[in-house]
Amino acid sequence: MIRVILRRLVSAAFLASVALILTMNPPVAFAAAGLPLVFEANRGQAGGSHEFVSRADGYEVLLDPAGAVLVLPSSPSAPAERLRLLLLDAQPQAWLEGSDELPGKVAYLTGSDPAAWLSRIPTYAAVTEGGLYPGVTLTYRGDRRHLEIELALAPGSDPRAIRLGIDGANAPRIDDSSGDLVLRAGGGEIRLLRPTARQMIRGEVVASAASFVLRGVNEVGVLTSALDPEAPLRLAIRVSRTLARGPIGTGDAVRIATDAKGNAYVAGRLRTRIGEPANAFVAKLSPDGSTRLYTVYFGGEGDDTPMGIAVDSAGQALVTGWTTSREFPVVAPLEPALRGPSDAFVSKLDAEGASFIYSTYLGGDGADQGLAVDVDADGAAWVTGRTVGGEFPTTETAAQGRPGGRSDAFVASLGADGSQLLYSTYLGGSGDEAGAAIRVDRAGGVHVAGSTRSVDFPVVNALQAAPGGAGHSPAGDAFVAKLDRGGERVLFATYLGGSVVAADSR
């Protein structure tokens, strides 16, 4: 058992301030990992002539009437490989359409040209292909995070007419023990799991035997047995991917916030096109985590990393982070261009997730990062983070108008429409600081927490006036500060940390 030795008594007021910081991102019932695939209508976000796009577990899916393309990343740096599943001898009039439209829409607000942005793209739980073979309808759907291909055959239709061509795999083979079709591609293994077959006979679902058969080097068919030719038949094939070197992640969720109705807003990074840089995203999920209500991708040609998210009373999400993109999307910006090697950004989305209310760079001539954001009762954004190199924009009312050292924390506030920098200040000593969390209380007081390695951090009414680890430990100390409404006066600022943790053998 670890026993931490506290050297001072902590006042109730101070504990309340720390509690506000710690509860900035409360726990949320979140089931994103269990959400099934969705299929987006391709409005240009996927390029080419493909009609639908989806993102599965470890691969991207592109659909057109000729079949499915699986885009497979083999490593974060190597070009993606493509595996095509072709429907051989399909009728030329075959067509695709989305089915089971979902409530969630998708937006791509990427690049600096608003004319190229895409909004309100519909999503579907499945895509149906008709006119494929006589009496055969194909449906693509998700089995959790994997693609499933279902073939519905009308009574009297011949399953032997279904011929699947493989393009982009090395030496397809059938696993003797499982009956799966095994394809080597993209630095790993793609398996089309052994088909399942079922028929509806006299009102009951009856399972039938089914298996793959190789009909050539790159051609596969399906064999079935014990069929009732007068009953419809459904064949289902699930696609699964494994990698020899472990999974290649295409994205990460970074922060989460909730609104008054319990909807969850998740900010993170995702490669919307495999082999291209990751963009920032915001996904709004229903209170039980089962439904995407919207997804927005935004960013430029560089590295776009969201680090904080908050939601105002109107359900509008505010996101901060940092970007190296010179083509980051801006709307009504305070700063229209990248000033340093990286700048903080502050972006506010409308309640539909279809467009920006504002989006701006925020930074000086050094490397700047937005790390946390909150919103006050007037809808103004309050942002904290880290600034390096000086020239970060400050206001006349700043508590600290000039940098204290090489890198400092900052606290900044933007008006509800983003048109005005209401307040901005440095916060730091001669060492390194970063603001990591921020919370505005009901009275408008601004609470900030972060890290410092300064021996001269500007303390005010401090609980701990001297550093415990700064100057002695590479980790330094935590700091906690509170600014009054509007940020013009620091009510308190204190170190929080020690140099020794005692532990017994228990």
For residues 44-64, give the mean pLDDT: 90
- Give the number of domains in the chain: 2
Tell whether 427 and 396 lie within a shared domain. yes
Tell whether 207 and 282 lie within a shared domain. no
Q: For the chain, what percent of residues have pLDDT higher than 90? A: 67
What's the alpha-carbon Rg for the chain, to the nearest Å? Answer: 28
Last residue of a domain, one of 243, 275, 297: 243
Q: Tell which residue, 57, 208, 217, 266, has the closest CA to residue 143.
A: 57
Tell whether 323 and 193 lie within a shared domain. no
Residue 478, pLDDT above cutoff 90: yes
Q: Are 498 and 467 in contact (CB under 8 A)?
A: no
pLDDT score at 290? 87
pLDDT band at 468 (very low <50, low <70, confident <90, very high): confident
Q: Which of 26-30, 332-336, 372-376, 491-495 has the lowest mean pLDDT?
A: 26-30
Question: Starting at the edge strand that comes first in sequence, how are the strands of the sheet with 343-349 ordered?
Answer: 304-311, 317-323, 343-349, 356-362
Q: Tell which residue, 120, 200, 111, has the closest CA to residue 155.
A: 200
SS3 115: helix
pLDDT score at 324? 97
Is 108 part of a structural domain of the chain? no
CB count, 10 Å around CB of 4?
A: 9
For residues 432-455, give the mean pLDDT: 96
**What is the residue-averaged pLDDT of the chain?**
87
Q: Hey, which residues does 475 pair with through a beta bridge?
A: none
Distance separating alpha carbons of residues 349 and 209, to the nearest angstrom: 52
Tell whether 222 and 301 lie within a shared domain. no
Is 176 part of a structural domain of the chain? yes
Q: For the chain, what percent of residues have pLDDT higher than 70? A: 86
Is 122 part of a structural domain of the chain? no
Distance separating alpha carbons of residues 214 and 163, to the nearest angstrom: 10
Residue 446, pLDDT above cutoff 60: yes
Tell whether 325 and 395 lie within a shared domain. yes
Tell whether 310 and 435 lie within a shared domain. yes
Residue 486, pLDDT above cutoff 50: yes
Tell whether 24 and 56 lie within a shared domain. no
For residues 7-16, give the mean pLDDT: 39
pLDDT score at 248? 43
pLDDT score at 202? 84
Tell whether 321 and 429 lie within a shared domain. yes
For residues 345-353, give the mean pLDDT: 99
pLDDT score at 252? 80
Is 1 part of a structural domain of the chain? no
DSSP letter, residue 33: G
pLDDT band at 474 (very low <50, low <70, confident <90, very high): low
pLDDT score at 470? 55
Burial 65-78 (b: 16+ CB within 10 A, else e): bbbbbbbbbbeeee
CB count, 10 Å around CB of 100?
A: 14
pLDDT score at 499? 63
pLDDT score at 158? 86
For residues 54-76, give the mean pLDDT: 87
- Give per-residue pLDDT as tens, 391-430: 999 999 999 999 999 999 999 999 999 999 999 999 999 9
Residue 505, pLDDT above cutoff 70: no
pLDDT band at 342 (very low <50, low <70, confident <90, very high): very high
Q: Which of 108-112, 159-163, 244-248, 457-461 has the lowest mean pLDDT?
A: 244-248
Distance separating alpha carbons of residues 307 and 436, to the nearest angstrom: 9
pLDDT band at 230 (very low <50, low <70, confident <90, very high): confident
Distance separating alpha carbons of residues 61 and 56, to the nearest angstrom: 7
Distance separating alpha carbons of residues 290 and 461, to the nearest angstrom: 47
Residue 447, pLDDT above cutoff 90: yes
pLDDT band at 270 (very low <50, low <70, confident <90, very high): confident
Is 3 part of a structural domain of the chain? no
Tell whether 260 and 403 lie within a shared domain. yes
Distance separating alpha carbons of residues 357 and 319, to the nearest angstrom: 12
Name every residue whose Cβ is closer than 8 Å to that of residue 92 and which is 6 or more positions away in sequence. none
Residue 16, pLDDT above cutoff 70: no
Last residue of a domain, one of 243, 278, 300: 243
Residue 348, pLDDT above cutoff 60: yes
Distance separating alpha carbons of residues 344 and 330, to the nearest angstrom: 13
The C-alpha angle 311, 316, 321, rounded to 5 degrees, equals: 65
Q: Tell which residue, 54, 62, 78, 64, has the closest CA to residue 142.
A: 54
pLDDT band at 125 (very low <50, low <70, confident <90, very high): very high
Please indicate whether residue 200 or residue 120 has the higher confidence score (pLDDT). Answer: 120
Tell whether 149 and 263 lie within a shared domain. no
Residue 288, pLDDT above cutoff 50: yes
CB count, 10 Å around CB of 163?
A: 17
Tell whether 261 and 234 lie within a shared domain. no
Is 286 part of a structural domain of the chain? yes
- For 22, the enclosing helix (H) or strand (E) is helix 12-22
pLDDT score at 34? 52
pLDDT band at 48 (very low <50, low <70, confident <90, very high): confident
pLDDT score at 170? 85
For residues 471-497, give the mean pLDDT: 86
Query: Residue 282 is part of a domain; what is its CATH number?
Result: 2.40.128.630
Q: Are 283 and 306 in contact (CB under 8 A)?
A: no
Q: In terms of residue numbers, what domain contains 62?
A: 37-103+127-243
pTM: 0.88
Is 140 part of a structural domain of the chain? yes
Q: Are 131 and 96 in contact (CB under 8 A)?
A: no
Residue 475, pLDDT above cutoff 80: no
Tell whether 215 and 82 lie within a shared domain. yes
Taking the mean position of all CA atoms in its chain, how far away is CA 75?
19
Is 399 part of a structural domain of the chain? yes
Last residue of a domain, one of 243, 278, 313: 243
Distance separating alpha carbons of residues 426 and 442, to the nearest angstrom: 24
pLDDT band at 203 (very low <50, low <70, confident <90, very high): confident
